[in-house]
Amino acid sequence: MKISKKFSFFFIFCVLFSFIVLLMYNTKEHRVEEFQREKLKHFELNIIQEYQTSSNLMSFLFALILKDKFIQKNLYNFYRSDIQTQAKIREDIYTKLLPTYEEFMKISFKQIHIHLKDNKSFLRMHKKDMFGDDLTQLRPMVRYVNEHKIDISGFEIGRMNDGFRYIRPLFYNNQHVGSIEYVLSSQYQINHMKEAATNKISFILKENEKIANIDKEYKNKYKKIDKLNGFVMTTSLFNENKMMCDAIDNLSKEDVEIINKSLAQNESFNVVVYQNFQYKLFQFVPQKIALGDKIGGYYIYLDDATYLDEMTKDFHMMTVVVYVILVLIFYFLYYQSETKEILKRKNKERQDSWKIVDKYVIFSQTDIRGIITDVSSAFCDISGYTKEELIGNSHRIIRHPDTQKEYFEQLWTALNENKTWIGLVKNQNKMGEKYWIKTFIEPLFDDQENKIGYKNIAVDVTDAKALEKINKTLNKKIRKAVKLNMMQYKKRQEEQLQNMKLSSIGSLAAGITHEINTPLTYMKGNFEMMKYDIMDLENNDSLKESLLLNHTRIFDGIRRISNIIEAMRELASTTKDDVKVETNVYSSLMTALTMVHNKSKQIAKIYINGTLFDINMDNSICCDCKVFVHKQRIEQVWIVIINNAIDELIKIEDYENRKLSIMIEDIEDKVMVYFKDNAGGIDEKILLNLFDPFISTKESGGMGLGLNIAKKIIDSNNGKIEAYNENNGAVFKVTLSKK
């Protein structure tokens, strides 16, 4: 299948455009990914730096509070005092730390908490009356510091609140006396990171079984984030970071699924979302608890991602620009290609036209003196000269000697008056043969209207007279064909008349067989009775024997007449040809053989299933081979095949050597009939086309229609007829179906 040029250009355009857009898209996506990585890396670094800053601040505060060893000394004495003294020590430490604590609270400190070395609470600055509770199970960081006596810092959820905790062991006189804890709220970290961020930063706390134990005001202190499964936010952050909360609420279902799936991985990630006709970048950095690998929460950083908006706009603009450029380029290329194709086609058409003109048009061109300057191939063909022989000569080289001088004087008179001359010219080719042309000659002019020569276009009319002869011959052939058609028409009329006569004879035969069959049956019955009367004669054996012999001869004649009448009755049956009936093949063959017996008995012996056919044969012994066919038409086929065989067998001189064998073969649902003769076989030249109309094996007579009709009858009865040669004879095989 040839692909059109337009489709090819369109296909290449689509492939190239798709490739460029895909390349641009991949570049954009790569830049987006790079942008996300850089942003996330920057956010993580910001958190680390802020954490380090907080650690340095806490170290400074620890040094400030503990430099006078007031707390360490009092804790040392606490273990050696009675209950009243212990209460006074707790009150003294509280009074000592209160001014410092109040200053710290201004910068989002949550609390200062002092622990005993057995992990029990000694003093909570935010609730001084709450002490003595065991923190062993709830506060792993406190237990860890008291056990290992080293500093520790990190995120942990306590009984009262969550936050970033800094715990240091306390010593006095080289003895471990307890630990002190500073707690910074997540709000403190966020407030300091805001200075380096253009948008809001929030912290979401991972909801677990400890949160419910923080205090009774849990429901008011924390709010669940509906779209982030298993995370809550402090009420203060929730109210302050309205922009962040709205952005989370407006997340699409797909974005929520991506974020929740990523949150479960406990790793840093970011997600680009599209809200309010602009891109936003959500960055999530996990905060692990101080001890263990569990996640305590996530820092969230919301960036408007104007860079992505600009990049998307640039991508769309570049896509349009690329499309326009490619359209212009491909239009230019297609236009150039089409122009080249048009020019190429025009040149080819011009060349083809000139080739046609050169090959078929008798053309010549001369200068003002009549010297030939150019000729066509057709001119060379009709004149017998080559171009080299003609160019440089005048037309006198092809002038016939019979042409009168006055003829050319008229030609030049017209041309000198700048008129076109038209006329018949008799010329002579190189071989001396004459030819006639009808020529058109007109002057040629240059751009200044100066006559520069003449051009001559001619038509070969040599065959005009020959055409008259051809017409006469054609008329003769037409008359002959008409006569032949009339003869064939007359023959067809005679055939139709013959068919009508045969039809009348058939009707007459049907009536005759009916009328004759009744007295014939009566005669057969009486002759049977007569035989018994003869057998009863006494005392005259010679008369009895003579009467019995005469009786036998007469009875055989009656039976022969009966068989002929039966065959005529079958052939003249009024059953419609288009009605199929169950037919005994053997019986139909006996009917056909009876009808041709008058001809066949003088020509050849005919055997049916190995038994020599006799018109007096009893049909009751026939085999039971039944098929479903048009009975009368099948009998016509048998007659055609038998007659063809007889016509070939008659060519054998000796009667005894002539033989036609008919065999019936019954196999499952098929019945096959074989007609085998020994007449020398069918000519191989016509064997393949034997059943075509007007193909005949006979040397004289016949139109070759019998076997063609026989084949059509067999085909209409869902059968098959074949012909082949075997053992110096022809075989016709007919296969019929029982259904």
- Max mean pLDDT among 114-128, 300-314, 396-410, 485-499 falls in 114-128
Dihedral angle at the C-alpha atoms of 382, 388, 392, 395, nearest 10 degrees? -10
pLDDT of 701 reads: 44
CATH 3.30.450.20 fits domain 361-461 = yes
Give the residue among 297, 296, 299, 271 at the shortest CA–CA distance from 285: 299
Q: Are residues 350 and 438 in contact, defined by beta-carbon separation less than 8 angstroms?
A: no
| Residues 168/180, Cβ–Cβ less than 8 Å | yes
Nearest to 623 by CA among 593, 595, 584, 661: 584
- CATH architecture type of domain 468-572: Orthogonal Bundle (1.10)
Strands (E), 289-367: 295-303, 362-367
Instruction: Find the distance separating the first CA and the last CA of the chain, reported in whole Å.
Output: 48
207 is written with which tokens? 């909801």
- Per-position b or e across 280-304, b if 16+ CB within 10 A of its CB: bbbbbbbbebbeeeebbbbbbbbbb
How does residue 703 score in pLDDT terms, banded at 50, 70 and 90?
A: very low
Sign of CA dihedral 138, 140, 145, 147: positive
The second-level CATH assignment, the architecture, of 198-304 is 2-Layer Sandwich (3.30)
- pLDDT of residue 674 exceeding 90, the answer is yes
Asked whether the predicted pLDDT for residue 499 surpasses 60, the reply is no
Give the pLDDT mean for 721-728: 92
CB-count exposure of residue 115 (10 Å: 0-12, 13-18, 19+): buried
Mean pLDDT of the chain: 81
Provide the pLDDT for residue 412: 83
CATH topology of domain 68-184: Beta-Lactamase (3.30.450)
**Greatest mean pLDDT range, 461-465, 494-498, 719-723:** 719-723
Query: Distance between CA 122 and CA 100 in Å, rounded?
Result: 18
pLDDT over 80 at 618, yes or no:
no
Distance CA 203, CA 185 (A): 10
pLDDT exceeds 70 at position 467: no
Domains 68-184 and 468-572 share a fold: no
Write down the pLDDT at residue 356: 81
**Residues in a beta bridge with 424:** 438
Distance CA 657, CA 728 (A): 13
pLDDT in tens, 81-140: 999 999 999 999 999 999 988 888 877 677 899 999 999 999 998 888 889 988 877 788
Q: Which of 368, 394, 383, 487 is nearest to 429 (CA)?
A: 383
- Coil, strand or helix at 446: coil
- pLDDT tens for 34-91 read 988 888 888 888 888 888 888 888 888 888 888 889 999 999 999 999 999 999 999 9
- Residue ranges per domain, the chain? 68-184, 198-304, 361-461, 468-572, 575-737
Measure the CA–CA gap between 82 and 440, rounded to whole angstroms: 150
> Is a pLDDT exceeding 70 seen at residue 526?
no
CATH number among 3.30.565.10, 3.30.70.3270, 3.30.420.40, 3.60.10.10, domain 575-737: 3.30.565.10
Give the SS3 label for residue 55.
helix
